[in-house]
Structures are given as structure tokens and as C-alpha cells.
Structure 1
Amino acid sequence: MSAYFVGLLVPLVFTLLFRNAKSGKKRGLPVDVGGEPGYAIRNRRFTSPVKSAWEGISTLAELFEQLCKQHQDKHLLGTRKLISRETEVTADGRSFEKVHLGDYEWLTYGKTFEVVCSFASGLAQLGHKREERAAIFADTREEWFIALQACFRRNITVVTIYASLGEKALCHSLNETEVTTVICGHKELKKIIDISGQLDTLKRVICMDDSTLCNASLAEGGGSWTITSFSDVEKLGRENPVDADLPLSADIAVIMYTSGSTGLPKGVMMTHGNVLATVSAVMTIVPGLGKVQDVYLAYLPMAHILELAAENVVAAIGGAIGYGSPLTLTDTSSRIKRGTKGDASALVPTVMTAVPAILDRVRDGVRKKVEAKGGLAKKLFDLAYARRLSAINGSWFGAWGLEILLWNFLVFRKVRAILGGRIRFLLSGGAPLSGDTQRFINICLGAPIVQGYGLTESCAGGTFSEYDDTSVGRVGAPLPCSFIKLINWPEGGYLTSDKPMPRGEIVIGGPNVTVGYFKNEEKTNEVYKVDERGMRWFYTGDIGQFHADGCLEIIDRKKDIVKLQHGEYLSLGKVEAALIVSPYVDNIMLHANPFHNYCVALVVASQLAVEDWALKQGIAFIDFSDLCQKEETVKEVHASLVKAAKQARLEKFEIPAKIKLLPDAWTPETGLVTAALKIKRDVIRKTFSEDLARLYT
């Protein structure tokens, strides 16, 4: 049976699962967990939390060694070779670097283990002691994974730092943890050099890139520390091997610094047992993992717990990890040379993770292309989409059987090709995913897209949608490593006695709940509690409700609720999620003032959609910034927000009365969003304080 034919069958099987899924199926069960009164749910399959899926394995270091012996000759880590770089200049004089990348070159499990052991020995030979901490400060790449596993073999605690972190937060993270070794890329090395005079404990830097580049950067003005290339450290260890010094389950594996959406980042301490519990739990939930060699496209920041956990899961099933980046992901990505392949086309992955912002862009991109083609192509797409949607919603008059294969071949094949054409499973996490986007990706990719809910403080573990759950807007039942409890929040009007569903603040308990915040006992004691049974709980600040089948839905966040002048409670996050579906919106931040009875919004306009509308209307403009200031443009975008609000059945006070259109995107580099693309409310509020003040006048 050909791979192409198998690919055609996948969506058929998926749709049949949709048809046969029972809405009343119990996915989570109520349970008495003691401690503070609340409404608690556990996974229906397990009576007690899962700690490890492997007998005798209690740390990530032990697990990795076992996996490398078990899958010695399989591909593990893949990286694309750089063929060329070139600069393209646009009509308005702006220049962009474009790259031409080759095929993936692979390291097997066996070879990766050799490199890990050599790098671990090299760290010891450089003088890095077990009690000292090492930081990994780089974009996601195979050296990141190798450095992490090498540190684990020496029982060295790894401090993870986002590559996009600003100088102030970077200094804070490195100094607070007293890091002595930084492992980074060439780009990040320049940042280290810029702040070298402010670093108190740094002794050595290991550069992942070519030593010539690293030494050139150092010559520009380095600090009082040594610099060594990644390959030289690996060579040093290979020639001078040192025995492993393996950790215990309770040892701190990672201090993960959050992206700092509210002030300076906090360091979350994770033990080997914490991360292993999440990895083990996911293994029990996703069907078919390990049955074939899945191929995973890694491009999210590995300093984010979602990506770190995902890569460890893929390794745990004997899968292959191919590295890419958000800027080279598809054939049309901004850094890919025209006519060459993006990462997805080159790798042809079967499994991916994504944050909602990226999936929203995929949805918007497909819709814009369909609209631009118009005519018969648009009619066919709309018909195919409607037929598939009808079937997924349970109608026998929707597309079934061979008709699914027909629509896949005629319509959805090109959409699936954007991500390589072989995706069989896609996980969305990091923020709530809109129901519209979830269903759109379901239909166009012909594969389940599931939502997970978790936090850095719970090692990404919390809840996880099951593959046959056809609902949207929910985040599934508890993972087998977690108990989920709702507790009353009377101030916000959320009670576990609410009908028809219990509601309250979400509290996560289980072996995946982390130790606390590094050197921040006050904040740790505020949000972490241990009950009389010894179970550790984390108070998330998120508000949820349990459906009758035991699945959780996130409905609010305590910090995002503002009480307006007339006493109405406004949930900023909920409204933003409803309004961002407007085709004119690239990003949005709602703002509410308790001294007014209405809200306003800062809207990052979608340049392609807004300019397309302006051209059709015959509106003249100098540039995009000029277009965003025009009254008719503001009126059009505001009207689209009102339409989206009505479709989401928002109250009148939840619809922004005034908006400010912004032409420039919010990126991690601007400091206005986190590396996971979550908006930084406080930073945005301060940056656009004058614009917000004018909206209230």
C-alpha cells in the first residue's frame, strides 16, 4: 500500500471517529482528593497519578540512555544544511535576508548519545562543577537538545532563557541563578557581550556556532570569561571521558524562566520527576505513539515548557526530531528564498505542536488565498468545507466515505501540503485556541488538532483533549499525572455549586506540579499548597468549568477581569479571543478603566487584509501607517469587531467603543509579546499610554 494512499485514508478514519464519538463518553471522573473543599476530577483511566511509564526509570537522564540503546540506529536529531544566504531589497528600500536550505542531515539515537556523553565530559574538563548551574540561551536547535541531555548526565541544573529576552531580564535570570556557564548561539553571544560588565558569576561561554564567528564576536568586546566552541567542548570530552554523575528523581533538572508577561521573569524549579510525569502521562493519551517512527517538526522555543516536554515525548516514542524556525517554516515564510523548500516541505512531519497565534495565521492565510482566487475555486472550497463541517457535526447529509477522498484530492490537498501533507496529529497549547480556528484546521488538514492546558508551574501537565473528542473550545480531561480541582471565587461570581456546570479557579495537583519559584519563597507560598495527604497543588489564577463528561473549559482569568463603572465584570482575555477572528486583526489588546462604563482596544491591523479592502474601495494612501490613520479605515475595522462580537454573543459593554489602529506587528523582538506570542499587557499599556488616554476623551 503506497504512502500516498495511506495519507488519503487518514482523514477518512479521522472523520469516522468523529461520527462515532459519543458526546456522553466519560473522559474524567469526580474524585475526593481531600484538602481545600472543591470539585475535583481525575482521568477516568487511572485511579492514582502516573509518575513514570517505564519500570525502574525515575529521571530524564536514565530515560534518555535507555531510549538511545533501544533505538540505536533510528534517526533522532535532524538539521538542514545552509546552502546560501542572500539579501532581497523591496521597492520601498527595505532589505531582508533570505536563505536557501538543503535536506535534513540526521544523527541517530546512538550517535546522539555519544555526542551527549562527550559534551558532558567536556563540561567537566572545562571545570564546570556539579553544584554550579549552566544556562542555555539560544533558539531551538539540535545543540540545545544535546546540551540539555549532557547537563543531565552530570546532574547539572539547566537554566533555560528565551533567546528573545531583553537585557534587563537576561541579567536578572543569570545573576539570580548564579550561572557560571552559558551555552548560546552566535546571535545570543553578542547579547552576552553587551551585558558582560553586569554579570556577577559567569566564568565560561560555550558557543554553538562556528568558532571563527564566536571569536570574532569576542574580539568586539568580551568579558572576563573564557569562550569555547561547542564542537571543541565535545572533542575535549571525547578525548578525555568522565564517568556520568546521574541525578535522582527529586533533583532539580531545570530552572525555567517565564517570558515575563508581567514584569521580571520568575524561575520555576522543575525536578526530573516533575518533567518525567508529564512525558509519561502524554504517552498514555495519544493513540499510536511509537507504533511507527513519527517525525516531529521542532520550531517553538525550547525554553518554553511546551516544546521541551514535546521533544522529550518524541524521543520517548523513538521518533525523529527535525529542527526548523518560525521564519523558515513553510515555502512562503519570510526568510525562505523564493522557489526553495520551507522546513515542513523538506521534513514532511507527522506530528507538530503550535501556539494559537500561529494556527490563526495559517487559517487567515488559507482564507485570503481562497478569497483572492474567487470564482470556481472559491465555490469548490466553500462547498467542500461545508460538507465536511456538516459531517463532523454528526449529519448523515455531510461528506462521508469516498466523497471525503474526493474533496481531499480536489480541495484540501494543497492546504495539507503547506505543512508537508503527512500531519496526523497536531497539539495546540500555550493559550486558548478559538473554536473557529480549531475546526478550520481540523477540516483542512484532515487530522485531529487537540488542545492541552498546563503551565510552566505544572510542567505543561494539566488536561489534554482526546483524539476522538469533536468538541471545540475545551481543553480535555485531566492528564493521568494530574488531578484538576475547581475552588470557589466568590469575588468574581464563580462557584462550584453553579448550574449547569461547576465553576471556579483551576487548581492542579500531582507529581508534575513543580517545587516553586527560585529564591522567591513569598510568591511560592502564595500559589503552591501541600495538602494533608502530601499532594502538591498549584493555584493557577485561571477560571474554568467542568462539562458533564469531565472535560475542562477555560472561561476566564482572575487577572484579566476588570470591574467597570456600573458594576459589570469585563473579561479582557475572553473578549480578545472573540474579536481576533476578524480578518482585519493581526493582534488586539482590550483595555478597560473602572472609571468608565465602556472599554477600548488597541488593534494591530492585518496589512494584507486592510490594504486589499482599501484598494477595492478606491482609497488612496501613502503607506500602511497612513492608511491606518484614515477615519474610513478605522470605521471598517471597528465594524468588523462589532460583527465578530455579535457572532460571539458578547454583551454591549464588552464591545470596544473606540479603537486605535496600529500598523506595526507585535513581535517578541519588540518586547510587546512573549516568545509564546502572548501579549504583555503592562508593557503595551505603558508603550501606548497616550493613545489609550486619547481613546477615553
Structure 2
Amino acid sequence: MSLVNESRQKVQQLLESTLPLDQLSLSHSVPLPNSAEDGFSPVYRNGLAVNGLAESIHPSLNTLYNTFKATVELKPNAPALGSRIRQPNGSFSEYQWESYATADKRQKNFGSGLFFILQNNPFKTNSEAHNRIDQHAATGDASFIVSIFSANRADWVITDLACISHSLTNTALYDTLGKDTSRYILSLTESPVLVCSKDKLESIISLKREFPEDLASLISIVSMDPLDESEQSLIASARAAGLTVFDIGQVEKLGEIYPVSEIPPKPETLYTISFTSGTTGANPKGVVLTHKNAAAAMTFCATVVPRLDNAKVMCFLPLAHIYERMSYSYALAQASAIGFPQGPSPLTLLDDLKSLKPHILGLVPRVYTKIEAALKSQTVNNEEKPLLSKLFTKAINRKIELQSVEDGADGKHLFYDGLISLVRSKIGFDNVVMVSSGSAPISPETVSFLKAALNVGFSQGYGLTESFAGVCASPRYEANPGSCGAISVTTEMRLREIPEMNYYATDKDGPRGELLLRGPQIFKEYYKNEEETKKAIDENGWFYTGDIARIDATSGRLYIIDRVKNFFKLAQGEYITPEKVENAYLSSCPLVAQLYAHGDSFKTFLVSIVGIEKEGTKNWLVSKNGVNSSDIESDEALVKKINEPEYKKAFLNYMNSNVGDFLNGFEKIHNIYLDIEPLTIDRNVITPTLKIKRPIAKKFFAEQFDALYNEGSLIRSVETKL
């Protein structure tokens, strides 16, 4: 079924008058009568989808091709893709825009050009992989796979749109995968062409030269950046390795000269293979996602994202991951102007925000905690201007109080909103009406502070690559932040009891157990991996997420509290689930930005690697512990000081005091090593989506763990007994 069932001519009018749905009506899940089975909770659906799940916004909007083309038809001259151009002096221009009509023309030409450079490629063979190129051009149903490898930019989207318009499947590589995983993906997918930024050319040519058999199908590279005479030796090197090299302008020109008809996809057409970043160090699994999955994800977005005319959005999170793919695809469907950052670093994000002034912003917790720290240092913790600090403390506390009255309370205040508008403007939030967070848990205190300090709605979502990103999102003005909201109108959920972890469907505060998902938004298979597919999806179509959830008994809202597989036993026999421990500290301690809890079956207590929020911790050391600020100016000095026994113990007491009774005594951390950002992708201890690679992290931090256990517990008064 669809959310709206009127003729195409009325679609735009209906969408404007109907969507988004009422946030409070949407924020409840309900159990379906007689749906509980032994070992499982009842099946839950959104309160607005009890009689059936939605597959698309409208029958005519059932593929990404249709949603994009509808926008091109309705608003061809609206700004679509915006970029900042680097100036000769190194600075960046204001945003320069391409219209929807221009983007559509470019993707048509680029798609046609791709067929030309592959069908006329001197390295094309009679292999099955290469035969699919001609077969697809003739019939439209034998898709080959286009690989994309670059940071976020307009050309990434042009490539994606060209694939959509010609029913081609694509996949993405990203820097943090490493050479071996990139080789694995290119080999597994038998991709004949890679579209990448110029800085990736040498590494890909070297990879082809080093592994010619594994990459036998790869015969062409398209550079997103112009190529000039200085690259001739590189192009010659590529040809010697069996690769042709073109730049995107050349391919678009060839497509303009030799056009081919678009091949509109069907709902069942494969859109993308999104490779998940595994936590074990094994090869990633390729999640196969169709246009039907994408249309359902667009439907989820339509219910929760404010509908704005001429909206601007920032495309900051990596397009290689499904969270940003969902966000930008919906932005295209809404005729939004999509701005790309000057680079992937959070350090330049505020400069881009001040130039773009977006209306909608989706980020991850680690970026929000940096924004929170920067705001606090300028407002409530501004020691250089105590009167300003006092005024902002009063204003923000009052806003938090007003926003906590009930769900939906935006906390408007005639005087304080004027004061807060100055803060919004300073960081480019002039127009922002909603921010969202995903990928990892975020502290409710951070949500409350940012909602108040920026006078903005804040929604925390939950989703996976396998669900084409979000399947639930909390109300933008949730009185008590912390939930992931109700399940979407596109998806149903149930929980599987796990008795060995004491999670039951009959728990008094609402059922607890492993979260299972089913519906049109959920994937059907892993690419060429039947074994893992069978492990993940049962005979009734339920996808086993591996996440432990609680469904609130009153509202039906979802809380992610744990993971299924990552539990271990302490020496005294108590079972520990580290995600539960980590989430408890992360959600209750604003000074904690990262946390990795570790236990040992020969030990009686937990130790932890803790990533501190730098500026907040500096203020804490100075204001609460009497440390001279000049002694902790550098990062090295701060880390050394905070790990001194006196301050480390005080910090641990702060952490355990904040977490309170939420954890049992044996679940609390007894010793810590503190650093500014100990868990990094470069160290290979977390995935690009910030999940901890526990087997690898355990080895990486083995020396610190040994030292912590040798030092012993710092909270012996509550140490667990044997």
C-alpha cells in the first residue's frame, strides 16, 4: 500500500498538504493482537500503519528514478547540487549551484558515455562479466556494477543518478576499507569501471597491476577531476596495467555525441550493494538494496522530515554509507538544494555551514559532541565573561525546562530566543529547523543541551545498512530524550527473548530482546553470500539485527540497549554485555566521547579505554579539581594530567556517579585509561560507522589493559566479590 493513493496530477498538491505526518500521532508503536509467540514479543507496528505497511509515498514514486524525474519536471531551475570552489589563495568561494535540469542533463550524458567507453574498450574480453555490458545495453536487465570512490561531491551524485537512470547497480569504496578490502569488493562484484577522484588514480592502478587476476574485470577508470598533459604518464601506466582512463568531462562529452536511451528501473531492480564495515576484521558483507527498499526509505523520510520550500541541506556524512544515501536521495525528491563540504573533516564543517545556512542537518554523535563543547565554551562555561556565562546558563536551563514539559513542546521564549539566535547565526544554524543523529547512541544530555542552546528540533534515529538506514526516529521535541522513537510506517518489529542474558518479552517496563525487522524497507540478501543471508533472515522473512532493544510499555518507542553476541563472563560468574555498559556511560556522561569496556574471565571487574571530550574535560579539571589551565594547554599535557592517579580516580567517580543505579555493581568500570580520541579508524579499532572491532581492539590495547589490571580497582568499596 502507499501513503497517498491519488492520481499523479495531484501528487504534489497532496504531498504538500499531507506530509509530514503529525509527529505525536506518529510517535507510538502498538502490538498487533494475537501476534505473540513462545519466545517472542508481539509484532509491533506504527500506530498509523496497523492495517498494513507503506511501500511508497505514491504508486508513481516507487523508484529513485521516478522521484528524481518528478523533481526535474516540477522544478527544473531549482538549485540542486552546490559546491565551494577552492580559490588561488587557498580559500573557498561561496556555494556555486547546478540546477536540477543541469544535473539531469549531466547524468544522461554521463550514463551514455559510460556505455561508450566500456563497449569500445580495448581491454574488453568475452568474459561473463564483460558480456553483461552489451547485454544490459541491449535488454536493460543484465546490470554490471559501477564502483564509486571519492569523498562527497556533486560528481558522486551525478554518477549515482546515471546508474539509477540506466538501471545499473553501483557500489562504493572508501579510504578506511584499506587495500585488501577494496580489492575484495572489486573482485567480488566484477566491476568493469571505477569512478573516482583524481587522488585515487595511482592507488587503483597499482592495485590492478599487483592483482591482475583478481581485478581482471576492471578495465576503465573515470576521474572526477580534469586530466591534463601532466597526467599522461599516469594514463600510460594505467594502459600498461590494462585500464583506460578518462575524466568525467570527456565521458559526458562522449555521451552527448553518442547518446543511449535511459533504462528506467523497476521496483525490484538492484540499486546498490552497500558493503558493511564488519567488527571482526573479516571481509565485509554486501547488502543488496533494491529500488523498492529505497522507495520505502523515502516514505519513512517523508513522514518525519519537515517539508520545506527551497530547503538547503548539507551532505556531510560519507555517501559511501547508507545513512547519507538515504538523506540525499530524499533531498533530491524534495527539490532541496544539496551543499557539499569543502572536505570530510569536522574542523571545516562550521565554515561550510556558515556559507550554506542549511535547514536540515544530519550528523553523528561525535560531531554533535564537538559542537556541544564549542558552544559551552562560548556560553555556559565562558570563564572569561562570567556575566555572559550566567545569562546563557539561565537561558538554556529555562529552555530545557520548557522543552521537558511534554512531547512536542518547542520551548519558545520571547526573550531567550532572541539571545539564542545570536548563537545560531555564529555557527551557521540561522535556518536550521531540524537536526538528526544516527549510527551510534548519543547522550540525552547532549540532545537536551543542543535543543535548548540552538532552539532546534533534534531527532535520534535507528537503522542499519540492511534496512536502507532509518526505520524509526524520535519526535523532534521529545520531552525526555533517549528513545529512537516508534517503528516506521514501512516496517514492523518484534523482539526475540534471550534468557541467557535475562531479556524477556514479559519484562515489566516493556519487552526486551533481540530486535527483528520485516517489511518493504528491509533487504532480502547479502551479495553472493547465501550462508550469511540464511543466518540473518529466517523463513518468515524476519531480519535478526543483532541489537538488543526494549520497547517501552506505554509508548511503544524503541530503545537500543545492547548487542547479542558481545557478552562475556567475569571470574565470579557474572555475565557482562559491553554495549550495555558503554551506552550507559556514553548517555549519562557528557565528558565521555568514546568508551570501550573490557573484561576478562580471570578478573573480577571491568576496565575501560575512555575518550574524553577535550574542552569540557579541561574546564572540569580547572573548575572542579583546581588544576591550572596553563598546565593543560596542549593535548599531550591534558592526557598526562588526566591520567595522574588523583584526577583519573576523580574522573572515574564522576562517571560512576552519573551512571548511578542503571548498572549493577559488577557492570561498573573499576579502572580507566583516558585519551582524547583513542578509538580511531586509522588504528583499525572501530569501523567507519563507529562500531568497535572488539577482537582487534582487544589486541591493540592489551598493554593498557594489563597495566590497569596490575594497578587494580580504583573503587574497591564496591568491587564485586568472588
TM-score, scaled to structure 1: 0.86
Q: State how far apart, in whole Å, the 1-side matches of 2:399 and 2:640 are.
A: 41
Q: Is the 8 A contact 2:274 2:288 kept in 1?
A: yes
CA-CA distance at 1:446 after TM superposition = 1.1
Determine if the alignment matches structure 1 residue 205 to structure 2 residue 221.
Answer: yes
Q: State how far apart, in whole Å, the 2-side matches of 1:297 and 1:556 are.
A: 31
Q: State how far apart, in whole Å, the 1-side matches of 2:497 and 2:533 are.
A: 21
Q: State how far apart, in whole Å, the 1-side matches of 2:582 and 2:645 are.
A: 18
Q: State how far apart, in whole Å, the 1-side matches of 2:472 and 2:54 are.
A: 13
Please list every run of 5 or more consecutive structure 2 residues that lacks an aligned counterpart in the other structure: 1-21, 120-132, 137-142, 711-722
- Matched ranges for 1:416-495 at <5 A: 417-495=426-504
The one-letter amino acid of 2:144's match is E
The one-letter amino acid of 1:80's match is R
Q: Is the 8 A contact 2:286 2:526 kept in 1?
A: yes
1:31 aligned partner: 32
1:152 aligned partner: 164
Q: Is the 8 A contact 1:484 1:509 kept in 2?
A: yes
1:384 aligned partner: 395
Alpha-carbon deviations, 1:386-424, whole Å to 9, x = none?
1112212229xx9966xx232122245214531332110
Q: State how far apart, in whole Å, the 2-side matches of 1:464 and 1:40 are.
A: 18
Q: State how far apart, in whole Å, the 1-side matches of 2:450 and 2:233 are.
A: 43
Determine if the alignment matches structure 1 residue 546 to structure 2 residue 551.
Answer: yes
Q: State how far apart, in whole Å, the 1-side matches of 2:616 and 2:398 are.
A: 27
Distance 1:61 1:25, change over 3 A: closer
2:334 aligned partner: 317
CA-CA distance at 1:143 after TM superposition = 0.8
Determine if the alignment matches structure 1 residue 100 to structure 2 residue 110.
Answer: no
1:125 aligned partner: 116
CA-CA distance at 1:214 after TM superposition = 8.7
Alpha-carbon deviations, 1:133-185, whole Å to 9, x = none?
11111111111111011012222110122233211211111111111111111
1:95 aligned partner: none
2:47 aligned partner: 44
- Matched ranges for 1:86-235 at <5 A: 99-127=90-118, 129=133, 130=136, 131-196=143-208, 197-198=210-211, 199-212=215-228, 215=231, 218=234, 222=238, 223-235=241-253
Select 2:294's aligned residue among 250, 275, 282: 275
Select 1:65's aligned residue among 62, 65, 69: 69
CA-CA distance at 1:676 after TM superposition = 2.9
CA-CA distance at 1:517 after TM superposition = 1.1
Q: State how far apart, in whole Å, the 1-side matches of 2:266 and 2:501 are.
A: 42
2:273 aligned partner: 255
Q: Is the 8 A contact 1:120 1:154 kept in 2?
A: yes
Determine if the alignment matches structure 1 residue 657 to structure 2 residue 674.
Answer: no
Distance 1:374 1:672, change over 3 A: farther
Alpha-carbon deviations, 1:71-94, whole Å to 9, x = none?
211111111111145xxxxxxxxx
The one-letter amino acid of 1:268's match is V
Q: Secondary structure at the match of 1:473?
A: coil
Please list every run of 5 or more consecutive structure 1 residues that lacks an aligned counterpart in the other structure: 1-19, 86-98
Distance 1:389 1:73, change over 3 A: same
Select 2:594's aligned residue among 580, 587, 595: 587
Alpha-carbon deviations, 1:540-592, whole Å to 9, x = none?
11111111112111111113333322233333223323434656544221111
Q: State how far apart, in whole Å, the 1-side matches of 2:310 and 2:232 are.
A: 41
CA-CA distance at 1:639 after TM superposition = 2.1
Q: State how far apart, in whole Å, the 2-side matches of 1:530 and 1:259 are.
A: 26
- Matched ranges for 1:475-554 at <5 A: 475-531=484-540, 536-547=541-552, 548-554=554-560
The one-letter amino acid of 1:271's match is T
Bigger shift: 406-415 or 456-465? Answer: 406-415
Alpha-carbon deviations, 1:247-271, whole Å to 9, x = none?
2211211000112333222111111
1:557 aligned partner: 563
Select 1:393's aligned residue among 396, 404, 424: 404
Distance 1:234 1:35, change over 3 A: farther
Distance 1:326 1:375, change over 3 A: farther
Q: Is the 8 A contact 1:301 1:675 kept in 2?
A: no
Q: State how far apart, in whole Å, the 1-side matches of 2:652 and 2:448 are.
A: 21
Q: Secondary structure at the match of 2:516?
A: strand
Bigger shift: 41-50 or 646-655? Answer: 646-655
Q: Is the 8 A contact 2:167 2:263 kept in 1?
A: yes
Percent of aligned pairs with the same amino acid: 28
CA-CA distance at 1:208 after TM superposition = 0.7
Distance 1:219 1:117, change over 3 A: closer
Q: State how far apart, in whole Å, the 2-side matches of 1:584 and 1:468 are.
A: 24
Distance 1:160 1:80, change over 3 A: same
Q: Is the 8 A contact 2:435 2:459 kept in 1?
A: yes
2:13 aligned partner: none
Let me know the Cα RMSD of the aligned residues: 2.8
Distance 1:285 1:420, change over 3 A: closer
CA-CA distance at 1:519 after TM superposition = 1.7
Q: State how far apart, in whole Å, the 2-side matches of 1:612 and 1:469 are.
A: 29
Q: Secondary structure at the match of 2:415?
A: helix
2:694 aligned partner: 681
CA-CA distance at 1:218 after TM superposition = 2.4
Q: Is the 8 A contact 1:178 1:201 kept in 2?
A: yes
Distance 1:484 1:412, change over 3 A: same
Bigger shift: 452-461 or 605-614? Answer: 605-614
Q: Is the 8 A contact 1:416 1:444 kept in 2?
A: no
Bigger shift: 583-592 or 316-325? Answer: 583-592
Q: Secondary structure at the match of 2:542?
A: strand
CA-CA distance at 1:220 after TM superposition = 9.4
Q: Is the 8 A contact 1:262 1:681 kept in 2?
A: yes
Q: State how far apart, in whole Å, the 1-side matches of 2:438 and 2:163 are.
A: 27
Q: Secondary structure at the match of 1:686?
A: helix
Q: Secondary structure at the match of 2:324?
A: helix
The one-letter amino acid of 2:61's match is I
Alpha-carbon deviations, 1:353-378, whole Å to 9, x = none?
11111111111222233324341111
The one-letter amino acid of 1:183's match is V
Alpha-carbon deviations, 1:169-212, whole Å to 9, x = none?
11111111111111111222233134222233211111111213
1:239 aligned partner: 257
Q: State how far apart, in whole Å, the 1-side matches of 2:557 and 2:527 are.
A: 32
The one-letter amino acid of 1:431's match is A
1:628 aligned partner: 639
The one-letter amino acid of 1:574's match is K
Determine if the alignment matches structure 1 residue 604 to structure 2 residue 617.
Answer: no
Q: Is the 8 A contact 2:443 2:590 kept in 1?
A: no
CA-CA distance at 1:455 after TM superposition = 0.5
Determine if the alignment matches structure 1 residue 617 to structure 2 residue 623.
Answer: no
Q: State how far apart, in whole Å, the 2-side matches of 1:400 and 1:282 are.
A: 25
Q: Is the 8 A contact 1:578 1:644 kept in 2?
A: no
Bigger shift: 571-580 or 511-520? Answer: 571-580
CA-CA distance at 1:472 after TM superposition = 1.0
